[in-house]
Amino acid sequence: MYLGLDLGTSGVKALLVDESQAVIASATGALQVSRLHPGWSEQEPDWWIAATRAALDGLKSDHAAALAAVRGIGLSGQMHGATALGADDRPLRPAILWNDTRSHRQAALLDANPRFRKITGNIVFPGFTAPKLAWMRDNEPALFERVRKVLLPKDYLRLWLTGTHCSEMSDAAGTAWLDVGNRRWSDTLLAATGLGVDHMPALVEGTERSGTLRAELAAEWGMGADVIVAGGAGDNAASACGMGAVRAGQAFVSLGTSGVLFAANARYLPNPEGAVHTFCHALPASWHQMGVILSATDSLNWLAGITGRTASDLTGELGEALQAPGSVSFLPYLSGERTPHNDAVIRGVFSGLGHESDRPALTRAVLEGVAFALRDSLEALEAAGTHLSRVTAIGGGSRSVYWLKAIATALGLPVDLPAEGDFGAAFGAARLGLIAAEGADPHAVCAPPPTAATVEPESRLRGAFDEAYARFRALYPAIRGTM
């Protein structure tokens, strides 16, 4: 058996698979987010441990024999979170999460240093780890002086599981401290934030072993000795391993809290000017690009809260027949935006509202706005030299047929839906645990799932979507600087 642990923003998922990669069982532990001020987003690292314990206790309760047979564990996690540890390996403060934008001034200052884009291949986004530590240096200097290690969220779980300070390439690439092309920490970039390599964990590839499960935890869950813990991956790279998007040209679109257009690459192809994320993949000698929008299903959930309806009620009200965009446009920038604007202070907008703008019209505008934001990402990836012929859809938003039709038509690409099954980040993490424990061929293990259905672009509406996209593109420069 092999275990995948995915530390998300809202919970920890534990997934058991067998040697044939059949899913045996899964369990979750819930998490909450603390938002003390606008733009802040924090979690206590001990909450991650408690949620992981809850998930594994659930597996042990119902599937003790399967859990006892685990030979390898893979880790996946929310990226960019700053977990600052003191000399005793205890957190000095709550972890500052990926969607926290308080450090936008520090990010701008670091990004103005040309070495960051040159070495990392990325803009220094406010959500990245380095500006968060710069914010600590500027606002919590006494705590900053006590920092001995900086870990990413899943790597704090690894410390608890194995006792080792270790990370892997895909997650480390989102810190703004990694030399992404050469897959190593950069002394130059660390020094720019008052840190050194000794503050960083050791690095392995996602398919390599990072340690073994501590004996007391193995005994607690009834596991044997020498359970291998793989390097694992950041959540998007782990999802790519689960979806089989590991070879050049393979791509997926993720409709979760945030939205991601992910493309695997065999070469390092940075495009920081387009606010494209260019990161190491979880597999050796491979990279990936991502266009990232901060509010995908979050936008629909926000509208659901405002209207007093559920998200599924709103999308269900539209039916499945795709309509031409109406007069209402929506910018899904509820928490700022990454690709292509790198703007932490911009906020969402409805435009073109009239007396006739009813609830379905607003729902359509929200779905279209997210689809057009993903088209922005596609164009930024193409500018970097990545050309896609199709994408696979994953995430909670992919349950809406209407939304998938809007995305396919906005992108001009077929959108594949995988066969029934769990192919997300936890599954990808379990695959990495299998590879590390057994020395298996990564490409053979990380095969794509069968395609259950394909949503084709609707050519009859492409012109209307192009016109609506042009209106969408004109809105951002019109409102920039007014927030």
Kindly list the catalytic residues. Answer: 235
One-letter amino acid at 50 equals A
Both tokens of 15, joined, read 């997934």
Residue 181 in tokens: 């092309």
**DSSP of 311-335:** HHHHHHTT-SS-----S-EEE--BT
Q: Token pair 């594994």 is at which residue?
A: 56
Rounded Cα distance, 216 and 206, in Å? 25
CB 199 within 8 A of CB 180: no
CB 278 within 8 A of CB 180: yes
Rounded Cα distance between 455 and 156, Å, is 40
**Please, which residues have CB within 8 angstroms of residue 257's CB and are 6 or more apart in sequence?**
9, 10, 295, 296, 297, 298
Residue 266 has, within 13 A of its CA and on its CB side, a CA count of 5
Tally of CB atoms within 10 A around 260: 25
Gap between the terminal Cα atoms of the chain: 52
Task: Supply φ then ψ for residue 388, to 5 degrees.
Answer: -110, 145
Spatial CB neighbours of 226, under 8 Å, sequence gap ≥ 6: 212
Strand segments, DSSP code E, in 237-395 are 251-255, 259-265, 277-280, 287-293, 329-331, 349-351, 391-394
284-289 contact pairs (CB < 8 A, 24+): 284/205, 284/207, 284/442, 286/246, 287/180, 288/170, 288/236, 288/237, 288/240, 288/245, 288/262, 288/263, 288/264, 289/262, 289/263, 289/265, 289/381, 289/384, 289/386
